[in-house]
Structure 1
Amino acid sequence: MTQRLLIGISIALFACTTLAGKYNSTLDIGDAAPHWTDLPGVDGQSHSSSELEDAKATVVVFTCNSCPYAVDAEDRLIALTKKYSDQGVAVVAINVNKVPEDSLDAMKEKAAEKKFPFQYLYDESQQIARDFGAIYTPCFFVIDSKHKVAYMGAMDDSPDGVKVETTYLADALDAVLAGKPVRVAETAPVGCRVRYERQRRSRRAE
């Protein structure tokens, strides 16, 4: 009985350690992508992930206005969006930080200034970032046509975009669109920590 119990515990512990990716404690490659509903966008409309059901691939990036790494990625993300827009790729940027420089009004100003060609959404609850396991901004995810996570991590191998040698995000998109496995499916995101609010534990009723 004791031996069986130990084996069961070992299996359970092993399962727990294999539920997430190398750099993501929540999602792994091949997992179903989390959904979101009714997130306000800089266009004044509310958006849900159901709008992207017909996309051949979707890029979800957790970003913000205040992080210099996120700012450095803006022009590259604009260029990537324009490059893949006629190939059935949707791009969605999501901000969850709750500081003045990352407010929805500030996001609208940023989007107008940079002429973002992609959705820029705000989640005050921060839940969608938690569901994706996003810890840093920017952090990128590629979702395939079956709504499975195909890539997660950095945009490329140059945080400031000065000397880019390996374009992880674009390479992942090319593979997904071609129906091929993504060669490098997970990398370590580099950026500023998402400013999560501490979640308070509720006391159990006596």
Structure 2
Amino acid sequence: ELPGTDGKQHSLSDLKDKRVVVVAFTCNSCPYAVDYEDRLNQLAQKYAAADSAVAVVAINVNKAEKDALPAMIERAREKKFTFPYLYDESQQIARDFGASRTPEFFVLNADRKIVYMGAMDDDATGKEIKQHFVADAIAAALAGKLPETKETVPIGCNVRYERTRRTKR
């Protein structure tokens, strides 16, 4: 379970009725992640109906002060996020997914298998988008198929994982 900017605890099991789940690893501090906020919000709005087969969640994994939960709450209000914005303080969820950048998107099918990972689209600026990787993966997963493109290289800032100290053996 992860705490959200809505004051609630969230878990993937909360979304068991959804046929597709989009998990976006993002943050407040990366300029690329900020550039994608409006597109992420639009994607979430498209599937906002309670009976929608698709859920969109965003997870902030960074430890910087401007990425801590209080700053996330402020950001979610300011940008009017329509999706759960969760804080992975332990960074374990991001490690489990293998997230390396912010933003980085993962599309999970009904069996909760990752069918797509990488960039949302092919233009970080949003001005000349030709390929909508996440939207295409959602459509494929809803049809019970695999997307044509299963992985792309995400463009963004490195996830700032805390280093763990090795224990002596």
Aligned length: 167
Q: Pick from 140, 148, 154 the counterpart of residue 105 of structure 2.
A: 140
Any conservation in 1 of the 2:48–2:82 contact (CA below 8 Å)? no
CA displacement at 1:84 relative to structure 2: 2.7
Extract unaligned runs of 5+ from structure 2. none
* Structure having the larger proportion of residues in helix: 1
Corresponding residue number in structure 1 for 2:153: 188
Corresponding residue number in structure 1 for 2:76: 111
AA at the equivalent of 2:11? S
Corresponding residue number in structure 2 for 1:6: none
Corresponding residue number in structure 1 for 2:89: 124
Q: TM-score, normalised by structure 1?
A: 0.79
The secondary structure found in structure 2 opposite 1:152 is: strand
1:20-42 C-alpha deviation (Å, 9 max, x unpaired): xxxxxxxxxxxxxxxxxx21110
Matches of 1:40 and 1:126, distance apart in 2: 13
Give the fraction of aligned pairs with identical amino acids, expressed as a percent: 60
CA displacement at 1:181 relative to structure 2: 2.3
Matches of 1:71 and 1:55, distance apart in 2: 27
The secondary structure found in structure 1 opposite 2:115 is: strand
Question: Is 1:84 equivalent to 2:20 in the alignment?
Answer: no
Question: Is 1:62 equivalent to 2:30 in the alignment?
Answer: no
CA displacement at 1:131 relative to structure 2: 0.7
Shift >4 Å, 4+ stretches: none
Matches of 1:160 and 1:145, distance apart in 2: 31
Max radius of gyration: which structure?
1
Matches of 1:53 and 1:150, distance apart in 2: 17
Matches of 2:16 and 2:81, distance apart in 1: 21
Question: Is 1:75 equivalent to 2:41 in the alignment?
Answer: no
CA displacement at 1:179 relative to structure 2: 1.9
